[in-house]
Amino acid sequence: MRDAQDRPIRYLRLSLTEACQMRCVYCRPALLTQSSQPGRLTPNEIESVVRHLVAEHGLTKVRLTGGDPTARPDLIEIIERLARIDGIRDLAMTTNGLSLASRAKDYADAGLGRVNVSLDSLDPKRFAKMTGVDALGRVLAGIDAAIEAGLTPVKLNTVVLHNENLADLPALVGYAARRGVEIRFIELMPMGPLADRWAERYVPASRMRNALAQVAVGWQTVPQGSDSAQVYDLELRGGRHARIGFITPMSCNFCSACNRLRITSDGSVYPCLMDQPRGNITDAVRPGFDADLFDRLLSNAIQAKAPEHPVTGVAVMTQIGG
């Protein structure tokens, strides 16, 4: 499966729901409150789509996202169905981490490979202010449970905001080093509730790097395959090492290597996180899977994939899945 720029599309990001238990300041509009969406894709429909993409179009990687995938009561069934598909080399999930302390083992037993967990601060007050939930301890316990359950490599995601958590980066890197997990610092994208104030709140990766100068004595580039992060092995004062990444959609976009396709829980197809939906596959999966119609819809969507992401996103991440 190749787009008009001849980029191979091998990676599906599947947003399972718009619902999320958190209210992150940069992500979720407070008005979006529904916890169930009528008409969303069922586990069986999701399995048909992914089986077809793997068998016919060379898909190798699936990430479950949202909203928060854990807000779906049928998440375990979805994981089990996808884990049975031969040809998926990487089945991952991005989550806020709230359910991991109690469910990490269940997710691993169902066949999930690994998790990325959002962690914006180690300061309980700032964590609560940024996420809308006073639950830092629960998320940290969840990260430990994910490591224990073998959902590895666990990666942490931190969206960095001016006047908020830039000063927390050294502590976050120290924590990641102690836990042996990778942490990735993400540039704010101009979508969602902070889109209008993006210029005031955006921190480029160069400033994040400066903020780490007080704890870092050495930076070694770690070559990446198709990953969107610039990854470094950081030598910290005192001799510990941390693996850190910068995800730089704004200062240095990685569109030329983009291999992603996004399908949301209502069947919308987004060839790009910041673009509008380019079709909906619901008619191709309901009442039964129609491969010809699916391929026509998919091809239209993929050919509309922009060479570079638009300047401002039209939607919020909870709809499309970051």
Cβ 8 to ligand SAM, closest distance in Å? 23
d(CA 195, CA 218): 35
For ligand SAM, the nearest residue by Cβ is 322
- Which residues in the 11-30 window bind ligand SAM by CB under 6 A? 20, 26-27
**Integer CA distances (angstroms), 270 to 55, 140, 173, 247, 254, in order:** 21, 32, 33, 20, 17
Cβ 173 to ligand SAM, closest distance in Å? 17
Cβ 232 to ligand SAM, closest distance in Å? 19
Which position among 191, 203, 261, 285 is part of the footprint of ligand SAM (CB under 6 A)? 191
Residue (1 or 195) nearer to ligand SAM, CB:
195
Cβ 20 to ligand SAM, closest distance in Å? 5
In the numeric block, which tokens belong to residue 265?
């829980």
Give the per-residue SS3 of the chain. CECCCCCECCEEEEECCCCCCCCCCCCCCCCCCCCCCCCCCCHHHHHHHHHHHHHHHCCCEEEEECCCHHHCCCHHHHHHHHHCCCCCCEEEEEECCCCHHHHHHHHHHHCCCEEEEECCCCCHHHHHHHHCCCCHHHHHHHHHHHHHHCCCCCEEEEEEECCCCHHHHHHHHHHHHHHCCEEEEEECCCCHHHHHHHHHHECCHHHHHHHCCCCEEEEEEECCCCCCEEEEEEEECCCCEEEEEEECCCCCCCHHHCCEEEECCCCEEECCCCCCCCCECHHHHCCCCCHHHHHHHHHHHHHCCCCCCCCCCCCCHHHHCC
The interface region with ligand SAM, picked from 4-12, 88-96, 139-147, 290-298 by CB under 6 A, is 88-96
Cβ 60 to ligand SAM, closest distance in Å? 21
Q: Is 322 in the site for ligand SAM (CB under 6 A)?
A: yes
Site string for ligand SAM, 96-135 (x = CB under 6 A): x---------------------x-----------------
- Which residues in the 30-49 window bind ligand SAM by CB under 6 A? none
d(CA 237, CA 235): 7
Cβ 306 to ligand SAM, closest distance in Å? 18
Which position among 113, 192, 267, 271 is part of the footprint of ligand SAM (CB under 6 A)? 192
Site string for ligand SAM, 137-166 (x = CB under 6 A): --------------------x-x-------
Cβ 132 to ligand SAM, closest distance in Å? 12
The interface region with ligand SAM, picked from 38-46, 276-284, 299-307, 313-321 by CB under 6 A, is 313-321
Cβ 256 to ligand SAM, closest distance in Å? 20
d(CA 110, CA 81): 9
- Which residues in the 269-298 window bind ligand SAM by CB under 6 A? none
- Which residues in the 253-272 window bind ligand SAM by CB under 6 A? none
CB–CB of 151/144 below 8 Å? no
The interface region with ligand SAM, picked from 90-98, 164-172, 205-213, 299-307 by CB under 6 A, is 90-98
CB–CB of 143/135 below 8 Å? no
Cβ 2 to ligand SAM, closest distance in Å? 26
Which residues would be at the binding site for ligand SAM (CB under 6 A)? 20, 26-27, 65-66, 68, 94-96, 118, 157, 159, 186, 188-189, 191-192, 317-318, 321-322
